[in-house]
Amino acid sequence: MSHAPLWTAQEIAEATGGTASADFDVSGVAFDSREVGPGDLFIALKGEATDGHAFLGKAYDAGAAGAIVSQPIEPPHVLVADTTEALNALGRAARARMKGKVIGVTGSVGKTSTKEALFAALERGRRGRVHRSVKSYNNHVGVPLSLARMPRDTAFGVFEMGMNHAGELAVLTRLVRPHVAIVTAIAPAHIEFFDTEEAIARAKAEIFEGLEPGGFAIVPYDSPHRDLLVKAAEDNGARVVTFGLKQGADVCAAEAVPAVNGGTLVAAQLPGVELCYTVAAPGDHNVANSLAIMAAVEAVGGDLAAAGLALAEMPGLPGRGARHEIALEGGTALLIDESYNANPLSMAATLRQLGREQAARRIAVLGAMKELGDQGASLHAGLAEPIEQAGVECAILVGAEMNPLEHRLEGKLALAHVADADEATAALRDMMRAGDAILVKGSNSVGLSRLVAALAGGER
């Protein structure tokens, strides 16, 4: 890895069409003054509620080497007409100077965990030369910021892209210009803003519009929207690679058996090669995502063997499958943290995995699913079947949206329906005992991460 600065003042000025007040180098980029570290570039964005220019003092106090501003100031800066457009321009410039391969990831579920696992899989073979978007920076501000942070000598870049409305992904993918575009799965997430699940699939398919010529589209074979995604990819000149658990996919699991550590041993069939590896994170959904990862690693010329080793070592992410042992009288309980997000597909997948856990009892703490619009009641009620199939004996339902599910489950298992995460924490403390396996899952805004922090220790 070279020690060249991330950006020089002159490069920033050239990329944004701005004017540099002085020579300076930066080693990072931030638009939140609370995230600024020594040597960073602070971009003073103007939002609906706040103006980053009001936080310039804090940014420089934290060690910012320079800033992008739209009004003159004394400290080192680059003056531009519009700081939001400057962020986009800096992202485009970062992408333009990068000579490696870029992978874009979208989907209704599994975006962040797939992005993180793909980063680990590529990083294992090219230490220090792989860049990815941090956290869930996948929107109109997070994507250009993640691009702007990409070092000039990056070999592989991995970027997550999300959307709530049609047309959003088309803009992001043209910034990222991926060589490989992955759609993990389609589910009725954000269906409040769409007429049908098919409309969601069409919006996700926008990722193919930004593909570099000759690029790869990696599409879920098992999805009911497979043909729609394949056609959209082909219409954009992509080479299509399907992945899935079913035979017939270009990249499929010829065999998948439980591993001793709770994960899955996978025998994968890729075009022209067979590969055996372990996925540390349990669940069919993680096996399926691993196949997409292997397809992407092969498409960009990465090291498949190193990728397999990385997947075997990947722990669950906080809020996305992290597993905690909770000490209780007489032993421990297993708490599975899926608190970051929820939609009907991911709920069913994680409940299915809960049903496979060896446990004295299975407990599900389920928070409301958001942005489901008119279908909310039926989709919440529909969770009854996967709950029963998983052999869940106790359930704590969180939020008013869970009323239809409560009615479906009454009399079938031990049930508590509470208003918020704090009440859920108290209810679970009273309910859990040694030998339990506990799934905690809900939309992020329900705040079940507080429950996990309270019971498993350590604020996230």
Residues annotated within the binding site for ATP are 107-113
For the chain, the residue count is 460
State the pairing for strand pair 273-279/264-270.
Answer: antiparallel
**Alpha-carbon distances of 5 from 61, 65, 127, 151, rounded to whole Å:** 21, 12, 19, 8
- The CB-side HSE value for 440 (13 A sphere, CA atoms) comes to 33
Rounded Cα distance, 376 and 369, in Å: 8
DSSP E strand boundaries for 232-374: 239-244, 251-258, 264-270, 273-279, 322-328, 331-338, 361-367
The Cβ of residue 265 has, within 10 Å, a number of other Cβ atoms equal to: 17
Check if the beta carbon of residue 138 is closer than 8 Å to that of residue 160.
yes
Give the strands of the sheet with 216-220, arranged side by side: 130-132, 156-160, 101-106, 180-183, 216-220, 239-244, 251-258, 264-270, 273-279
As beta bridge partners, residue 79 has 19, 69
Binding residues: 107-113
165 neighbors 275 (Cβ within 8 angstroms):
no
